Amino acid sequence: MATFLYKLGRLAFRRRHFVALIWVALLTLAGVGAASAPTPGNTSFSIPGTEAQKAFDLLEQRFPGMSADGATARVVFKAPSGEKMTDAGNKAAVEKTVRELGGGPEVASVADPYTGHAVSKNGTVAYASVKYKVSGMELEDTTRDDLKEAAQHARDAGLTVEIGGDALNATPETGSSEIIGIAIAAVVLVITFGSLLAAGLPLLTAIIGVGIGVASITALASALDLGSTTSTLATMIGLAVGIDYALFIVSRYRAELAEGREREEAAGRAVGTAGSAVVFAGLTVVIALVGLSVVNIPMLTKMGVAAAGTVAIAVLIALTMIPALLGYAGRKIKPTGEKSRLLGGGRTPRRPGRPNMGTRWARFVVRRPVAVLLLGILGLGAAALPAASLELGLPDDGSQPVSTTQRRAYDLLSEGFGPGFNGPLMVVVDAKDSARPKEAFDKVGAEIKGLKDVVTVTPAAPNKVGDTATITVVPHSKPSSVTTEDLVHAIRDKGAEITRDTGAKVLVTGSTAMNIDVSQKLNDALLPYLALVVGLAFLLLIVVFRSVLVPLKAALGFLLSVLAALGAVVAVFQWGWLSGLMGVEQTGPVMSMMPIFMVGVVFGLAMDYEVFLVTRMREAYVHGETPGQAVVTGFKHGARVVTAAAVIMIAVFSGFIGSSESMVKMIGFGLAIAVFFDAFVVRMAIVPAVLALLGKRAWWLPKWLDRALPNVDVEGEGLRAHADPEEEKELVRA
């Protein structure tokens, strides 16, 4: 591996014009493809195997033209103070709005509030339900504009009007904080390298990599049915790993220059050594992201594969474009320890020969490994405690910022009809195999009325054939509450009894039931996914480190950091700690995808630091140093780079906390805090403490396994054969 990458690095350095041309061509090709691609419209959302999805599929068969998965909008009206919605003027304004809402080509039906009993008991709030023929992601912009325009006409008549439902779902905005995150990354790179040019290379290559990845996603969005969140995730992860991988290569290149090597040779060795770490770190990220497919949620699978593709591009750019750009930079890239004149280069250091911070910290840990280990574990354990209270769910309009019309509509409906009205359940009764379908429909309605937390049960609405009916159930509690989840399970339990008595099947669906099923599906997939990802990465790390205990320690440390990060997410988004600082306007259950998503993404990213830091230690150990010395050497060369990489990744992820989308906000915070825990507590404290305690045992590998494993030579031992003998003599004399 090291030898191949060494040759690749030298080739890219020499043939830099050709390499740069290839990447510019790829960026141009992806950009043209994105610009000429059709606007993505048919972005479906399905959860195979869940009861809610089966009910949707059944409705499509038995109620043709019903558009069970079509978008919905609730136009909520509130009368001015002292008036009621039944007053003549207000009623006329609403009826006019209803006529306007029914005029679009994508509208399936509009329910008049006055004929559909959609006026609150106190008469102050009413709503009109609009059903569309296509899903919210397929709606044309003109349809959304017509919806907004009709609502504005009612506002002009003096009514308060807000719009809820999924018809107005828009692409989330990340705000200026994302730019701030990139700016912080630039400052960290400048401080790390002491050179504006050296700092600019990782930023430039990361932006190019993300540009190619996101443009490719945009170009393929229509063909592959990709949603807007897919490109957001790819941007988030692509920027973070792209900067980090380039940072590893450039820092190693400067270290090789400091040892006196020629620039082409230094580029080759940087790619051969640090590049090997980048390849395996990238592989762990790709494994983690592609592994999301085991959950069997198509949207999640596509997000993972698209992000994995962006990571693969970042790896290829680090291995080829970085050495090519180093060739263009020439002598403007200084060896380690030297700064450009603009940033103070040429000055005499105040304390020459003093060990750097990484060396001093490593020596401290090696001297007191037990204290550092206990402190690190106790600290992460304390941060993980809130995770014991973890409640999972999917966001609804109630989690939107109060500035949005969706949230205001949600609040108006809760005020007028109760919180459960925002998440009605649709019960589908399949009486095709029942001898008396009408009796089965009535029995289902009667049984549901007797359950707790039920406010309203509508009469059964059968199809034309009379073998299937729908019943709408309005819970007393809000959609994301545990009580509503218990009601869904209670209806399903009753359904099993009804099936035994009548032969009719009872299925519960609707957005609330779908969210509950998704949460359960994600919970059930967590342990298999964890076993798959950690297991494959464990085998990969055994090959990299040629050790059993080092990969085991890496996996256990990762679990600690993920649990601590989940605890922090619960504290902020569920309990409300520091919620104002994070812009969290509404606390509630943690997004169902969060645990499995953090397991996948954080594991891959955490292994970046593990591979880069510990391969330096392995390299020193293989070259004859004692285990304790190897730990210090690894920190001497790697601590500064890993610290910079972690700060950059935290800054990039933190930039997404400013998103208007609660899911993106939570992912940004969760990944940022997880990287903080993993980099600064696990990798910088627990890892050296454990290695210091294990000593030579850390690098133990059974002889039979040693013979069976391929020698990937991550530490670059094979590169000595490519070194110029005279150059090696000079380096030894130096």
Which runs of consecutive H residues, i.e. helices, occur in 171-262? 177-193, 196-224, 228-258
Determine how many CB atoms are found less than 10 A away from the CB of residue 86: 15
What's the pLDDT score for residue 16?
92
What's the pLDDT score for residue 681?
93
What's the pLDDT score for residue 730?
44
**What is the mean pLDDT for each group of 10 consecutive residues in the chain (734 residues)?**
86 92 93 77 65 87 71 89 91 91 85 86 90 76 88 92 80 57 78 76 88 85 68 79 86 86 89 85 84 82 87 93 90 73 49 74 92 94 91 74 84 89 89 87 90 88 88 87 89 89 89 86 84 81 85 86 92 85 75 82 76 81 84 86 84 78 81 90 92 89 85 65 48 39
| Residues 70, 89: Cα–Cα separation, whole Å | 32
Q: With contact defined as beta carbons under 8 Å apart, do 605 and 236 qualify?
A: no
The 3-class secondary structure across 588-639, one letter per residue, is CCEECCHHHHHHHHHHHHHHHHHHHHHHHHHHHHHCCCCHHHHHHHHHHHHH
In the chain, what are the helix, strand and coil shares in percent, each to the nearest 5? 65, 10, 25
Q: With contact defined as beta carbons under 8 Å apart, do 567 and 384 qualify?
A: yes
The 3-class secondary structure across 265-324, one letter per residue, is HHHHHHHHHHHHHHHHHHHHHHHHHHHHHHHCCHHHHHHHHHHHHHHHHHHHHHHHHHHH
Choose among 429, 421, 423, 467: nearest CA to 448: 429
What's the pLDDT score for residue 159?
93
What's the pLDDT score for residue 725?
46
Q: With contact defined as beta carbons under 8 Å apart, do 263 and 257 qualify?
A: yes
